[in-house]
Structure 1
Amino acid sequence: MGDTLNSICFQENNVSWVQAEVNPGQSVVVKKAVESPLPFIINYDNIQKPTTALQIANHLNSLALSYELSPQNVRFVLSAKFALVKKIRVDRAIPESEYTDITKAELKQLLTGSLDEYLVYPPQYLRENGATRELLSVSLRKEVFEFVQQIETEANLSASKINLNCFTIDNFYRRFFPNLRGQALLVNFTERGFELILSDDLRFLNFSFKPYSKSLQNIDQLDEQEILASFSAIVDDLQHPEILEMPLYAISHIFLFGNYLKPSWLNSIKEQFRIPVRILDPAQSTEWHIQVDDENFRSLGSHRFVEPISNIF
């Protein structure tokens, strides 16, 4: 038997928690799966308040007590909206010794505060694209990181990792569907917009967040036609950007998931594209066996728990 892991995912307005066991032979047992609204939206104003972390910690403890979840072997995964995941393009003629300075100069123009206020991480990433090279930089406010650490401390959890969902889901996609070739668009339906993760069979490609509407309306304020029209326009823009002669991406597969995705939308979305579209369901993997011991996971649907599941590996 493998170790039992607890993966807790934070979106700005909700939390999802999966307790699972990863066994030899590429087998996963989902023991518990819970999702719940947070007592506070995680935004800049609320993380400044001295009691917000404590109240979220108390909420996690309440979930653990109600659903008999363990506080040990915990991993946190955060929505990538809490950070800035930035692709930086440089001319291939520029020496690698200058990449750090170029990255810092570009971030200074994008970040709302001083670089000293951020944890800046350059993942090992290099992608050739014609005459340019693509670098990757991740910036997370130190206040956000310290806020999450405070939740861990107040809840008396033993968290070993804090990851961003765009990277855990990218890794999960290749791990569970290694035989798919070409570029994949992984779409997370959140409360106010689409989280778009671009991957291929080799590496992470990009992340972006696109709201459902310009006024950042909640998905519950929109009808199905408005949501699907917004999605269609975003995918079209990814493949045929007006400002470029050639598209940056050639998407071969689209996978849908998230708390706010309604599986009943799938057929309507399929009709909009020639690209294969499917729900990102771990159980459809030919490489991994998923055993589900939790009725909540079955009834709500595995697509709602992709984020926490992706962080157990």
Structure 2
Amino acid sequence: MTPDSQAPRASAPRRPAPPGHRPGRLGPLPWIAPAVLLILAVVLWPVYEMVRTSFLRISTSGFVRGSAGLDKYRKLFGEADLGHVLLATVVWTLAVVALTMLISLGLAQLFNQRFPGRRYARWALIAPWAASVLMTAIGFRWMLDRTAGVLNTAMTDLGLIDGPHDWLGNPSTAWPWMVFVAVFVSLPFTTYTLLAGLQTVPAEVYEAARVDGASPWQTYRRVTLPLLRPAFLVGVVINLINVFNSFPVIWGMTRGGPSSDTATTTVFMYQLKSTDIGESAAMSVVNFALVVLLVLAFLKASRWNREEA
């Protein structure tokens, strides 16, 4: 072997970078640019227009009549129904989310077990998810109709009631039915989210718990629930946003009536649109701020980014 063959090979000369070029600076930009543009077009621009509209005086025909300053917010906070609507929205959101998570947890645990017909039961759960939420709400409204509803007919024939009831005309009976429908349409997504979380728990963990002598309840409380926490938080946050902003269920069943007795902030905002677009936009801004605060408060209370020991 010659000395020349033992000498290290000289690396090829590198081509000098163009003046002002910074390698890797724009590397990810072509990949994230479409997503950024979509967010700007679909989220940020409507939010900007919503806030801007809340400070304008706009006629019912849509013509801008000049600046309104804070008048629309003063008018909104002077509405007699606003306090009731805000309270109803909070109760509605907490009730629907709590019931949805509780029932979904039980269904996910059931579907995680092996039993005859499990595949068909899972398919059946998709039905409320596949159907339009508005179509489902209208279907229940027809079922609860005072004169031609199947519920009144069946209960009258069975002697359970003396005569037809106006289930959706009275807020005391309309709210429970709307909560039922909202939970019904929310179950599929939440159940499958929790089911996916359950299926990520290793079987070795359960085996170790049995070896240590843990009872089924201790295993569920100390093993399953902590490992299910990420999926549970996803389900709660998504449901908080969806239920707080829910429009099709309430509008399809009662249109927020009578008056605004069964309205949430989203439905109340739509009701205001027919009389004052600027005030409706102000309600939209308040609604947007409330849902952001609600989600942030939940994430803070649940310490979602806490490191597990």
TM score, norm. by length of structure 2: 0.22
Higher helix share: 2
Higher relative contact order (CA 8 A, sep 6+): 2
Larger radius of gyration: 2
